[in-house]
Structure 1
């Protein structure tokens, strides 16, 4: 079954960078990339498409990433959607807010495209997470 990844960011440059980082998913795996430019658009796409993974910018117009995350996890009851918050704010306070509303992971900008790609492969089940216990 096809997997879906939604990238939500109000900055066009970040959307392009994320799409470039993840385009190999579309080429090599059965993955569809979706994009949204604000929180309201993201919620519409999430209701229609039910993506497996969402990269969500925190600071956006119309509806913040924190609000979108809270709505997905609490109001929509879509716990199966893996949410990675993307933000320029790297303070511990911001990370706690993201986790408190249901985010699964927090990545700060600037991010490394390879890190985004590998984490996507793990979340989507194409590779196993690294086991450091060996």
Structure 2
């Protein structure tokens, strides 16, 4: 079973994403900010990270840069899932190492399509 770390400071978003991803047969972990997510990734790297941008402590972009700087580990697929929908943010995320980008609000169909595009399903 593939693992997914859902990183979002919103408990509601984490709950919705968890429900969708469990239906898609993923084992789910949750993190409340980028620092929490980085600590969890260092302990056990997931197959995929579903990542919010705007969070306290360490935002999604800061997390992504820190994650991609980890050496000697199999890097996960990173899918940003955020309200930041202008081209500058999308370009910044892709340049930092994001594999895909989902706009909030999202549903199962959107997550399923993006996860298919990056080869997870």
TM-score (norm 2): 0.89
Match of 2:70 among 76, 87, 92: 76
Indicate how the Cα distance of structure 1 residues 110 and 43 shifts in structure 2: closer, same or farther if over 3 A, else same.
Answer: same
Which residue matches 2:24?
25
Bigger Cα Rg: 1
How far apart, CA to CA, are the structure 1 residues paired with 2:50 and 2:120? 16
Q: Which runs of 5+ in 2 are unaligned?
A: none
> Once the 2 structures are TM-superposed, how far is the Cα of residue 122 of structure 1 from its aligned partner?
5.4
**1:56-109 CA-partner distances (Å, limit 9, x unpaired):** 000000001001111111x21356310001110100011011011111111111
Q: Which runs of 5+ in 1 are unaligned?
A: 127-134
Which residue matches 1:105?
100
TM-score (norm 1): 0.81
Counterpart mapping for 1:1-134 below 5 A = 2-26=1-25, 31-73=26-68, 75-77=69-71, 78=73, 80-120=75-115, 123=118, 125-126=120-121
Moved over 2 A (4+): 77-80, 117-126
CA contact (8 A) 1:21 1:114 kept: no
CA RMSD of aligned residues (A): 1.7
